[in-house]
Chain A
Amino acid sequence: MNRTLSVIKLHQRDRFSWIFIPLIILGSSFIVNWLTSMMISEDSMYTGGIASLLVYIFGLGIIVVAQTFPFAISFSISRINYFTGTIVMALLVSFGSALLLLLMSIIENQLTNHWWSGLYFFHLPYLNDGNLLVQLLTLFLFTVHLFLWGFVFGSFYRKFKKSGMLILFLASGLGLTLGSYIITQNQWWLDIWKWITQHTAFGLSLWLIPFILLNALLSFLMLRRSTI
């Protein structure tokens, strides 16, 4: 337990990667969009600017392994402590960013009338359906999922290095091509689209939970046998 806390501390000391950079990315995306929304004449402007934050979280999941795993192992940290500490840190940061996004969406929607310029940046239709708790959980699960998705790639690279990565990409390319061919042949695209649209954002985010758990398990199994 003690040494898991040390791993959290290890990450916390890198405030740039975990806090400042995502804030800068989100902030600059917001400012650019806000300035644009003031200049254009339309009544309202919808933007997917918060995706920039989510993409960064995905990237963070990938690079955090390369940045800290060899370092942590060299500093006498066990792999299980590294894994647990990193996951806890990711959960904390995901929760923090979900809370921030929710807070900003409230400010946007209820306090500033969309930043006085008709900008829909934080409060988006569909994504922000449901009550506050539902919105918070949706944002949280999406963020955690993206982090762990990146983390599983990072761990894969750590375990199987470049050649493994190449095989993974070739295999997934092949899998995707084959999958989409089968779907097209059976004319399932419409059904899939229907399935997605009949769910709320929250409903979809609940479907992420099995993937989150699977990715966590896979990362753990790979890191457990990773060497320097």
Chain B
Amino acid sequence: MNPIAELKQVTKAYGNFKAVNEVSFVLEPDKIYGLLGRNGAGKTTIMHMLTAQLFATSGELTVFGEAPYENNRVLSQICFIKESQKYPDNYSLLDVLELSASLFPNWDRTYANTLVQDFQLPLKRKIKKMSRGMHSSVGIIVGLASRAPLTIFDEPYLGLDAVARNLFYGHLLEDYAEHPRTVVLSSHLIDEVSQLLEHVIVIDKGTILINEDAELLRGRAFTVAGSAAEVESFLIGKTVISRDPFGALLSATVDGTLRAEDRKQAMAKGLEFGSVSLQQLIIHLTNGKTERKAADL
């Protein structure tokens, strides 16, 4: 199948600083991607380049097989919702919806109206006068109702309460099941979105750290806990991501999959195993050291 988007060695430099450094990845059709990473890692820059809002310094970037810059065949199939989207001062939600209807070929008016009711938004109030959460909901409604073949949500829920966030996740999954498309979800609420994601791309300091199927990624590490001596002997020859001693006990996170025989042996010695959440794993991988320092202080 033809990829939705393809990046080859894409770099975005501001002077000497490389916000994105030789990044390559492929977005396949009809999948939900998580683009994860810390603030300033380069997530937004990548998404801006995908939509031709920023220009790459070097490298090759195609969306739907073509360069996106000034290309209506590509642009009309993309809907990009960003955290701090600015709307014209005099715009109301109704204005945004009417305009969206004329811009996105797959726009579903009925669905948009349902969403407006579910998120309980006023149609005629100026967006400028809406609360932070309502403002975010406007973007979410546009993103969902556009049904664009490539829909990108960049931290879409600033200021949204847990109820509204769940409403968003629910609608996204439900509508995605009926109208499959490629969704890129950038977020730092990793645990919340981890159940939605089929594929995870983790970016740190402008480079790709992880680019893996979400299921495989979840099995990539595990924790082991027990008495310090037993755990230490178990850890010999394994890649340890972190150690958290607690008195005579030790809990450690190990990179790698747990083999059944290992598990059997260790269980006999009274060790306990647990799975690592996506969030923990990513924190370990992107920021393990600083995290430890903070804990030691």
Contacts and interface: CB of A to CB of B under 8 A. Distances in A.
Interface of A: 3, 5-6, 9-10, 13-17, 67-68, 70-71, 73-81, 224-225, 227-228
A228 B54 contact: yes
Interface in B45-100: 48, 51, 53-55, 70-72, 75-76, 78-80, 82, 85-91, 95, 98-100
A198 B245 CA distance: 93
Main secondary structure of the interface of A (DSSP, over half): helix
B79 A76 contact: yes
A9 B97 CA distance: 12
Given A6-B99, A76-B79, A14 B85 contact: no
A79 B70 contact: yes
Main secondary structure of the interface of B (DSSP, over half): loop
B84 to A, nearest CB: 10
Contacts of A15: 90
Nearest to B79: A76
Contacts of B104: 76
Contact of A71 (B72, B78, B86, B98): B86
Interface residues of B, number: 29
B70 A78 contact: yes
B165 to A, nearest CB: 22
A165 B295 CA distance: 47
B88 A78 contact: no
Contacts of B75: 76-78
B2 interface: no
B72 A73 contact: no
Contacts of B71: 78
23 contacts: A3-B76, A3-B103, A5-B102, A9-B98, A10-B99, A13-B91, A14-B90, A14-B95, A16-B90, A71-B86, A71-B88, A73-B53, A74-B53, A74-B80, A74-B86, A76-B79, A76-B104, A77-B75, A77-B103, A78-B70, A227-B48, A227-B55, A228-B53
Contacts of B102: 5-6, 9
Nearest to B142: A75
A174 B138 CA distance: 47
Given A67-B89, A74-B85, A13 B99 contact: yes
Contacts of B91: 13-14
Given A14-B90, A77-B75, A6 B53 contact: no
Interface string B133-158: 00000000000000010000000000
Contacts of A9: 98-99, 102
Nearest to B80: A74
Contact of B72 (A16, A70, A75, A78): A78
Given A75-B100, A78-B71, A79-B70, 8 more contacts: A14-B91, A14-B95, A67-B88, A71-B87, A74-B82, A76-B148, A78-B70, A80-B70
Given A9-B98, A77-B103, A17 B90 contact: yes
Contact of A75 (B55, B98, B99): B99
